Every structure is written in C-alpha cells, then in structure tokens.
Amino acid sequence: MRKNAFLMLIALFLAPDFSAKAQENQVQARIRELEKLVPLEKITVGPDDQFNGDILPGGRVLVFTEKSGLISGIRLQDLTTGETTALLPSNADADEAVAGPDGRIAFTYFKFNARGDICYVRPPQPPFHGKTAKDNEVRCLMRAESSVQRSHPFWVSANVLGYVERDFDGRSARIVSENLSSGERTVLAEGRVWSPFMRSGGRYLVYLDWAGEQARAGSGRSRRIVVKDLESGESQIARFALPGFSAFPTVSPDEEYLYFSHFLNDTNEDQTIDGADNGVIFRLPLKKVFKAGELSKGVLPEQLTSVETSCGFPRVAVDRLVITCAFEGSLDVYNAPVNGIVPEKWDEKRILNAIDTSRSYQDRILFLNALQYRFRGGVATGAYFERMLSEHILADDVSAALFYLNQGARDSDIPFYSLLEAYLKARELKNSQPPGELSREFRAAIADLEKRVSKVKQGKGIRKELFLAHLKWSLGDVGAAKALLNRVDWRGAVRPLERYLHFGLARSLYAGKRGADFQALQKAYRVLLTAPELDAQSRLYYAFYFLKDTHSVSPSPEERIKVIGEMWKTNPANEIVVLFQAEIASLRMTSASDENAKTKAFGELSKLFSETRDNYFVRRALYTRVVVNFTEAAEVKYLGVVARNWLRFTVPGDTEFAYAREAFADNSLSQAYLHLDRGEWLLADNYFYESLSFTDDLESHYGFIRARLEQGRRADLLRDYEDLSRRKLVTDNLKFVEAVIDIFDDASGNDDRLDRAIGKLEAIVDGRDSAMRYLALGYAYMEKLFRTARGLDFDSKYLQKAHRSLLLAYDLAWDNPRIRASALMNLGILHQRVQNHGQAVRFFSLRKTYGFISDDEKARFEFLYARSLAYAHQPDLAASELGSIAENSRATPFEERRAFYLATAGEFKEAEAIYSRLLSERRITGDVNLAKANLAYGYVLLKLGREAEARGRLLTALKFSEKLRPLKASKERLVDFEPLRIEIVGYGLLAQTGSPEDRLSALRARLDRLEKSRNLVANWMEARIQIHNQIAEIESVRGESARAAEEMREALRLTSEFGETGQYIGKLVYRTAANFLAHAVLYPDVYKQDDVERVSGFVDNCIAAYEAQKVSDPVLDMQNLKLRILLEGMRAKILKVPAKPGEHLRSSVGTRLKAERPDLFHQVSTLAAALE
Amino acid sequence: MTHRRFVYLWCFVFLPFLGACAPKVYVIDRQTILEDEAAGEWPDFESEILKKSKAHGPTPFSKVPMSKKRESLYNVLNGSLVTNSEDTR
C-alpha cells in the first residue's frame, strides 16, 4: 500500500517530459549559483578515447572521433538523449570529422587509400536506433596520385571542401580547396602547414605553420598560428606572450575570435613542450592578431580553461565551446562557455577573491590571466611576467618559468635573476634524467652552471651559496648541499623567492627524517617563520608545512606539542601563533581519554574558529590542519562540527563558499561510510541524508535508502522522499530512488520489479552519466542474464548491456574507489558466468587491488577469483588465493576447493593433507560430494605412490557414485551431471591398482561404462582402443595369448575405424598396430585364422600416411620402418613365406634415418636382424 | 504431435536459409568437465556467495585514499614570490 502511494507520488512529480533536459531542482540551482569556476560539462561517455567533437547545424547532434585500441571511427551523439551511433559501417578507419553548413560531415577516410581520402556524407538523423550512413552514400574527392597524404578537411563553403595535402616525403604540404561539383582546386597556402580551419563562407583561414629551426632560434617558437585574410590576401603570424606553442586553431561563428589550444608547460616532464603535455584553451579577437606586430612581446590572449583539465580540439558553436579534455581517466568531449570557465559576471574584486581561495597554482594562473585580460588592459607588463614567473616556479613548471624570466621579469635585479636562471636550468636538466641516474652530460652542464653562478658579481643581497647548494643537490651531493645551505647569510633584505628556494632545499635535504636532520629542518623553519618581509599567506604556508613535517616524523601528540612549543618560543607572527594554538588544541582533543577533556579541548578550538572568522588565510590553514588531525584520529563527531563551522563562517558570496560546501558534503559522505562500517545505521542514514540534500548525487541516495531499509524504516524513507520532492530538492533522480528500492525489494527474484528498475534507470536524465546509475543498471542487466541463462546458454543481449554499463560505471568512477570496486566485482562475476574466464581473471585481479571490507567478503571474492584462475589454467594460483583466506572464514567448501585446485596443480602432498582432514572430520557430506572427494583423494594418493590407500578411496568413490542420478544443466548448473563420468574416471584410476585380476576387472568395468556413454567422453574411441590394448597387455603377461589376441583384434578394428577419420598417424594408432604385429609374430598360431590381407591393408594405409608427410621427421621414419618390418615378419610367420625385412633398411626412408638419427636406425636394424 | 511434425518439416525445408533451426553447439572445456567430475558441489553456499558478491551499490569501504579532487580541497598555497605583489593584485 505504502509502495503504491510512493509510486503515485513519483508519478505525480515525474509527470513532465524528461526527453530533453530535466527541470533543475533546488539543489542543482544552489550548486549552479555558487561562486566558482564553471564546471566543464561532459558530453561523451565511455572507456575509449573520444575526441575532436563538432556540433552539427541545429545543435542537436555531436560528431566526434572514437579511438578504441588502434582503430578509430566517427560517431554521432544525440545531445538530447545521449544516444550514439557510428557514422559509417565499421569496416575502415576514419577521423577528423567536421560539420558542414548543410548538415553533411566531411572526414578523413582510410578505406580506399592508407594515406587518407577526404570524404563526406549526410549523416542519419536522430533518433538513430543504430542507423549508420551507407557505404554507397559516402562521396570522396578524386585524387590524381595516390602517394600524397590528405587530411584535416574543413568546409570552405557548402560546395567547397578544404584540406591539407602533404607530399610523400612529408616536407612540404599545401592547404587546398576543392569544388565538389567541378573538381576545381585552389591552393590557399603552402609550406610546412597543417591543422587548417575556416568558417564556411568565411573570410579568414587559420592554420599552423612549422617555422623551422632557424625561425625557432629567432622567435623561440617552432610552431605558430597563421591567420590569412582571404579577402585581402594578407597573412599574419599570431604572436602570443605565452610560453610553449599553439595548436588546433579555429574561428568563432561570427569570425570575431580566434580560438586555439596552447601547451604552456612541460607537464609530463619529458623536456619538450608538445602535444603530450596538458593543453589550455585560449581565445583572442582576430583584429588583435593583426595588431600583434605592434607589441614586441606579443599579445596576451584570454585563458579559457585550466592546465589541470588538459583540453584541446576547440570548436565553437553559437552558444557553446566544444572541447576535448583529459582529466577524468580518458579523452572525452566537453561543453564549456564560449568565454571560458571563469564566470563572465565576475568583477575584479571577485577574481581577486578567487585568487586568494584557489586550491592549485594552475587555477591561480587562470585567475591571474583573467584579471590581467579583463581588468589590467589585457597586455603583458613586466609585473605580469614577474608574477607569472612566481606562479610557475610554485607550480614547478620550469620551462614556463624560464620563458617568463627571459620575457621581462629580469629587467631589473639582473645578478639575482642570473642565479635564478641557473637554478631553473639545473631543474630542467634534472627532470630529464632517468630516476636514480645522472649522465655525464648532465654533470658537465651542472659544472658549467656552477661556474656561471660563481662568476655572478658578489654584492649586497646576493646569496650565491643558496644556488650552489641547489646545484650540488641536483648532483646528489647531499653533504656539499647541506654545507653550502648552512653558509647562507639570511641577514638583510631577503627576496620571497629566496625564502621559497630555502624552504624547498631544506625539505629536500631534511624532511621525513628524525634526529639531526629534523633539528636542521627546524632550524630552517625558525628562519622562515620569523622572516619579516613575507606576507601572511606565505608565513602561514611555511607554518603549515612545519606542522605537516613535524607530524610526519613525530606521530605522538605529546611529542608534536613539545616541538610546536619550542618553535613558538622563536616569537613568530600572530597568525602563526593562532595556527599553533589550534594544532595543540586539536592534538589534546584527539589524545584525550574522556569525553569531558575532549569537550574542553574542542571548546578552545571553537573559540579560535570564531576569533579567526575574518582572517581568511589563518582560517583555511587552521581548518585544514584540524581536519587532517581529526580524520587521522577518526574523530567522527567533531569532524562534522569542524566542517559545519567552516561552512558557517564562510559567506555564500565568497568564492571559498563552494570549497567549504564541497568539503562539508564530502565529509558527510565519509562519515556516513564510517558509521556504516560500525553498523551505526541511524547515524549513517543521517549523514547520507545530509550529503544528498547538499549534492543530490546518486551515491548518497543509494546509501540513504540502504541505511533506512536496514533499519526497517521504509515508511520514514518514503515520507522523507515525499518531503524532498515537495521542496523540489529531488526531482528527476527520484527515478533512481524508485529503481533502487525495487532492486532492494527484488530479493525474492521478482522479475517485474527488476524490469521496472531497468526502465526507471534507463529513463534518468539528470544523473544519466553518473557512475552510480551505470553500476545499478549493469547489476540489473547482469541479474537478468543470470535469471534467464540455462547451462551454457545465455542471452548475449544482457551480456552486452551489463558489460557496457559496468565498464562505464568503472570509467566514470575514476575518482571513486567504492564504485570502481563494485563495478569490477560485477564484471568478474559476469564474465565468469559466461565462461569468459580470461576476462574474469582480469577484472577480479583489478578488484583485488582495492581491498575488502571484511574477511568474509574477501573469502567470497577468493572463491570466485580462484575458480576463474583455475579455468584459465592457473590452478596453482587458484589454490594460493584460497590459501590466503583468514582462518575464521574458512568454511568447508573453501578448503575442499583448495584441495581440488592443489591436486589439479600437482601439489599432491598439500592436497592430501586437506582431503584427509576434511574426510576424517566428516566435513564433507552427501553422496555427490563424498563420491567426488574420494575420487580426487584416491587420485592424489595414487600420485603419492600410496596405492593400497588409493584403491580403498577409489572403491568408496565408486560405491557412492552408484547411488547418484544424472542431472540436467540448469540456471545454477552449467553442464549436465553424469555419474557415469565419475565411474569412468574411477575405474580408470582403479585399473592402476591391485592384482592383475583386479586391474582386468576395473578395465572391463571402465569399458562397460564407456560403451554406454558415447556422448559423455570427448575421446571416446581412443579411450576404448586404449583399454583393449591395456587388457591385451595384462592377458599376454598372464600367458593368456588367445585372450590377448582377442583384445588386440578389437583394438585393431577400432583403430581401423579411427584411421578412416583421417588419423593414420599418431601414437595410439602406431602402438596398436605395432603391438598387434609383434604379438602375431610372437604367437603366429593364435592368429593363423586372421585375415592377413586386411591387416596388411590397414598397415599400408598407415605407411601411406607416413610417406605423404611433407616434412621428414626421424621419429615418424622410425615408426614407418618398424611397421614395414613387423608386417613383413607377421606375413612370413603366418603365411610361411620368405621374409627379407633387412631390405627396408636400404629404402630411402632407411637411408634418411641412418643419416639423421643413427641411434633410431640402430633400433630398427636390431628388430630387422631378429626377424631375418 | 502434428504441430511438432510441422516444425520439423518447416526446419527441414528452410534449413539452408535459417540458422535458427540449427542446434546450438557448445564446446565444453576440460576444466568444466574436471570440476564436474571431481570438485565438490555446494549449491546453497555458491548461490549465497554470488548473491552477496553481486553489487548494486558502492562497496562501503569505511576509508578510501583521498581522491585528487578531495585532496585539492585541503591544499594550502604559498603567497606570491614577487617582492611587491600588490602590483599584480
């Protein structure tokens, strides 16, 4: 009843159409209104790289390249529903798609020419339902010669395509336009050009030009953007006041702006700023490009994205900027505002506020650039260069710092900047050295830099020792570096840059070590914390690191309080004293033994929170330290109070508010999981509720539902969601809520609920690209697969859907180990069920790296993982995984399975110990398990040479197996169960034990079972031949020649049948034939009634097969000769005709064997001599 | 009975065109057979393991390593290294 009421409620609130964009709820509105960088909106989703997006006219469809492994193809995405489809049938590589003015798409196609063709096609319209353009609809530009490479298409107009044509040698290229109707070609630019773009029907062509080494030496840039005015014919090189180089130029629809990506820094530290580094999107009015020549240092463009998000491939639609970024695990296409992620409405004051509250130097650089561009005239001044130098040194972007140093930062204070340049160059060189290695060239370069430092004119405020110490450190000469640092005279005016270099080197030399090193580090901090010229932010920064470094070497609160007290005595600035007070109070609190003492210590902290509410930098450092201390001590209760205070003392208009809010929500979620772990469901549900009301994220919704249901508070749960709906705090995500409740209710396996949950999860709009949605959806599809599968038969549609959803959950949860662990577990289980054990092992092994929440969870995981490992032919690893299960979680099935894997791996001794224990303790029960365990145990004993014991176990196994009945494959059982199989194996093993009579009896019983089980045994024919041979051998040894002959004849008859299937060569056929012939030679009387010609015919077939081998093999030659000689011997004995077996030795086969393998030839010769 | 015969006839006539009538063929690997022959059967236990291991929600680790995003929330930055930083403020 309540459920129905809830459904009605959901229906009421979700009645509006969500086919496009769901209506924004209150939580989303609050998040949107926060004063923070505009977040990039992810468009494409998937584990593969997806990039180079463009929007088709009308704005509904995105076209982009998807690269999976080495294969690239073009895909379309309906932006209103997220539905995607391939543009082309997937039979050839294609990329570089660009939308034309009439909706057609031009692209580079590799179907007809490996060097690429320029083609175009009209794409299918949404909804796609899997539609692609057809092959015969694709049109490609004609090419006169096939050796030139064609790429980078762009639309010059609706009927003219442009592209790059590169000669075979790659040295020269042309940007060409070609009329689609007439084929008329015009060369627009020539040289080492690429990456062209222009608006269809537009005036400006933009492209990249390789300036060459000579030009690079002059301007410092090898790659530059050229803007060509097609009306006037004038070309202009765009010169920017930026380090690094530019790429992917494009133009806005109104041709007002040039957009491009720029690689500022060597972010991957390979000593080259290139496409592998983090890209940033910039823009600049086109008219400024043509004025750039007036500015000697180049123009300052507007930075639109942060280095941290690494973006490229800009394309500008009317209302959005489509870019490709790589900060969430893979390359994906994103939306950003056309004027960048720094909100347009921000005034100068707000940007200054954002600079203060930045969480990374990369963001601070973005804000400083926004400030300079929007409010400081948009030109690069000396002060700007100096500040950029400072920021890039802090961000450790050495190449960029060197650029700013040389651009104007060094216009004054030249001796100091010469020293700084030596330091930066040394760092740049050091970064290029492999870890732990220093090349001779590097040592020589550092020696050169040392000379340059020594030559700098000594004067007031010049501290050469500091720079020489850094150079020694880069060489790994710690002693010399320490000695030099000790000699630095810190009296007089000190530059903040020198303080930073002092701090960096002191930490490199001393941090993380106790004793004298820690004392030396304290000494350095004493200098830094009492430096008079530093601003408050810097002082607090060094004090913060002092506390952090003290924490890392002195874990005990008492010790840390003592060290802080010592530092306090040096009389540092007031804000540092407040930070110390807060640290000591938080340490006293975490080490307090009773609640009263904790409350008292927290009272001191609260007072400090209140007193510092107006001092931003103190407050931030203080909160951060307290959060670190409380998190480490798991002070759950007070952690929440701190996060709440942080939020309370931050006003919503402050850019800090968004961070404080995020910290609060993050803290709520962390605390929810902490309480969940302790089984404190009520507290967990409170914190999940707090988190969801702040974020509306699906993970919090899931946790809240789970916690409520665990407490049996379904009615409260529904009431709360009713309330959240009424207050419009949750709208579209109610579909997720309902789906999750259905999934929880589905414990009894109600298919309707599962189907309904899938329907709701598929319909979600707001959280469509949430990892949590894909996890739940993947689970639901996996469950469908399990429920509909029978034996090895399963519905591949559910496999595909479950696999895709779970892989997307894994991909999207790149920063969320909780969701990733679950997605991997499900992927492992899914692939294990469909017998794809290689993949299952891959997913399970990844899952293992995340750890487990309990011993029982680990045991369950190991059971599943071990099974796939064993199937993937790694039974030794399977046994070892099961061996890692904690003692208290080792139920009988774990042990039994471990013994089985050990036996499979040939670890018989260990397997024996487990089977022996389990059976003697009667932990294995039931006829099936007793039959199987005794069979496996008997096998193990046999392998250990304990024949009598093995025989007993095998007989027991057979006794139990007689009671068993066959079972058909089902949902739970992969293959039919056939007790006959156990008997066949059992009798086979039994035949290796006991007296000859016992063995004969076992072999006959095995043969009897085999005759009844034609479809059960893979090598049915071979098994029977082998048994007849084995019986014949025993009978022969017992002197029963006639009985042996009977078995030999049957073996030969079956082998003839087997040979007719085309298998006349092989160990079994050879042995059977040779045994038969040898026995006939030895006992000709027993065979005198046999049809010798029929036997000869069979042997001749074998010999013919040997002769037909294209490659000679001495072993086959030997078999060939032996059969020939034995046949000759048998004919002579039975038909009483003369025999000349020795003649075969002189045949070509004999001659070859004699030459290649004299030892084998000798064996054959001996046989022939015996038969002569 | 008549219906079954009709199905057989239908399959026979259209066999060359319709793969659907062909029986599904599964290759059962050696490990599956080995497990069937000699490894114990614990259906309730295995079904319980599967039920508890399939996850429709996050694995509730009480603590997880701090994510990059979360780490950056607790970042404290140095001030400007420029001597007179007010110039650029």
Residues 6+ apart with CB under 8 A from A113: A143, A146
Question: Is A355 in the B-facing interface, judged by CB distances under 8 Å?
Answer: yes
In Å, what is the CA distance from A532 to each residue of A453, A492, A493, A622?
A: 27, 10, 9, 21
Q: Which of B58, B68, B78 shows the shortest C-beta gap to A819?
A: B58
Beta bridge partners of A209: A193, A224
State the ipTM, two decimals: 0.77
Contact A259, A310 (CB under 8 A): no
> How high is the mean pLDDT of chain A?
89
What is the rounded distance in angstroms from the CA atom of residue A54 to the CA atom of residue A56?
7
Q: Is residue A1142 scored above 90 in pLDDT?
A: no
Q: Which helix (H) or strand (E) holds A336?
A: strand A332-336
Q: Is residue A77 scored above 90 in pLDDT?
A: yes
Q: Is residue A11 scored above 70 in pLDDT?
A: no
The pLDDT value recorded for residue A378 is 85
SS3 label, residue A836: coil
Q: Provide the whole-model pTM.
A: 0.79
* Secondary structure string (H, E, C) spanning A162-203: EEEEECCCCCCEEEEEEECCCCCEEEEEEECEEEEECCCCCC
Q: Model confidence at A480, in pLDDT bands (50, 70, 90)?
A: very high
Beta bridge partners of A71: A68
- Residue that wins the pLDDT comparison between A298 and A1126: A1126
Question: Is A538 in the B-facing interface, judged by CB distances under 8 Å?
Answer: yes
Contact A336, A313 (CB under 8 A): no
Q: Model confidence at A303, in pLDDT bands (50, 70, 90)?
A: very high
How much is the average pLDDT of A53-58? 95
- Residue that wins the pLDDT comparison between A792 and A75: A75
How much is the average pLDDT of A1031-1046? 92
Q: What is the DSSP string of A654-706?
A: STHHHHHHHHHHHHHHHHHHHHHHTT-HHHHHHHHHHHHHHH--HHHHHHHHH
The pLDDT value recorded for residue B26 is 57
What is the rounded distance in angstroms from the CA atom of residue A744 to the CA atom of residue A1017?
44
Q: Which helix (H) or strand (E) holds A452?
A: helix A440-455
Residues 6+ apart with CB under 8 A from A444: none
**Paired tokens of A649:** 């003392």
Neighbours of A285 (CB within 10 A): 16
What is the rounded distance in angstroms from the CA atom of residue A784 to the CA atom of residue A753?
11
What is the rounded distance in angstroms from the CA atom of residue A111 to the CA atom of residue A108?
9
The pLDDT value recorded for residue A899 is 95
The pLDDT value recorded for residue B28 is 58
Contact A107, A155 (CB under 8 A): no
Which residues in chain A have their CB less than 8 angstroms from residue B71's CB? none
CA angle A224, A227, A232 (to 5 degrees): 150
Q: Which of the residue ranges A668-677, B11-20, B74-83 would you say has the lowest mean pLDDT?
A: B11-20
The pLDDT value recorded for residue A698 is 94
Q: Is residue B84 scored above 70 in pLDDT?
A: no
What is the rounded distance in angstroms from the CA atom of residue A592 to the CA atom of residue A638?
13
Q: Model confidence at A527, in pLDDT bands (50, 70, 90)?
A: very high
The pLDDT value recorded for residue A367 is 96
**To which residue do tokens 């080490």 refer?**
A591
Give the minimum alpha-carbon distance from A821 to chain B in angstroms, rounded to a whole number.
Answer: 6
**Paired tokens of A157:** 């107009």
Q: What is the pLDDT of residues A170-185, one digit of tens each?
A: 778 999 999 999 999 9
Q: Do A853 and B59 touch (CB under 8 A)?
A: yes
Q: Model confidence at A902, in pLDDT bands (50, 70, 90)?
A: very high
Q: Which residue of B has its CA nearest to A537?
A: B79
**Paired tokens of B75:** 């970042």
**To which residue do tokens 């561009």 refer?**
A373
Q: Model confidence at A369, in pLDDT bands (50, 70, 90)?
A: very high
Q: What is the pLDDT of residues A113-153, one digit of tens each?
A: 888 999 999 999 999 988 999 989 999 998 777 678 899 99
Interface mutation target, options A379, A417, A815, chain B, most CBs of B under 10 Å: A815
Q: Which helix (H) or strand (E) holds A303?
A: strand A302-303
In Å, what is the CA distance from A1143 to each residue of A138, A1121, A1139, A1146, A1169?
A: 72, 10, 9, 5, 11
For residue A351, the Cα-to-chain-centroid distance in whole angstroms is 37
Q: Is residue A416 scored above 50 in pLDDT?
A: yes
Q: Which residue of A has its CA nearest to B72?
A: A359
Closest CA to A28 of A695, A772, A664, A647: A695
In Å, what is the CA distance from B11 to each residue of A703, B1, B4, B25?
A: 53, 15, 11, 17
Q: What is the pLDDT of residues A235-274, one digit of tens each?
A: 988 888 888 888 899 999 999 999 999 987 665 655 555 5
Beta bridge partners of A874: none
The pLDDT value recorded for residue A115 is 86
Q: Is residue A640 scored above 50 in pLDDT?
A: yes
Give Dmax (Cα) for chain A.
122
Which residues in chain A have their CB less than 8 angstroms from residue B52's CB? 857, 860
Give the minimum alpha-carbon distance from B19 to chain A in angstroms, rounded to a whole number.
Answer: 16
Q: What is the DSSP string of A121-154?
A: EPPPPSS-TT----GGG-EE---S-SSSEEEEEE
**Paired tokens of A437:** 């290695």
Q: Is residue A911 scored above 90 in pLDDT?
A: yes
The pLDDT value recorded for residue A1136 is 85
Give the minimum alpha-carbon distance from A614 to chain B in angstroms, rounded to a whole number.
Answer: 17
Exposed e or buried b per residue across A258-279, where buried means at least 16 C-beta atoms within 10 angstroms of its C-beta: bbbbbbbbbbebeeebeeebbb
